[in-house]
Amino acid sequence: MNLRSVADLTPGESGIINGFMDDTLSLKLLEMGCLPGQPIKFNFAAPLGDPICVSVAGYNLSLRLDEAITISIQ
């Protein structure tokens, strides 16, 4: 099984949140609406590539790449 993260998505691509790879950061992400089973869409990246903008739980969320890489998707 090939693990992918939100950071692997390209603009316009979507996935379903599968879980988290960092237990410490997972609580923060859960509080922001990144729940397992929730669809997540990569909207765009900042001009230098970091941060990125994703849509999750009905709103836009800005994530740093080091946060996005901890969200595993299917």
- Give dist(CA 24, CA 13) in Å, integer: 27
**What are the helix (H) ranges across the chain?**
23-31, 65-68
Can you give the pLDDT at residue 3? 85
pLDDT in the model for residue 10 = 95
pTM recorded for the entire structure = 0.91
> Is residue 17 exposed (0-12), middle (13-18) or buried (19+ Cβ within 10 Å)?
buried
Domains (ranges, CATH) in the chain?
4-73 (2.30.30.90)
Instruction: State pLDDT tens for residues 54-65.
Output: 999 999 999 999
- pLDDT tens track for 3-52: 899 999 999 999 999 999 999 999 999 999 999 999 999 999 999 999 99
3-state secondary structure of 71: strand
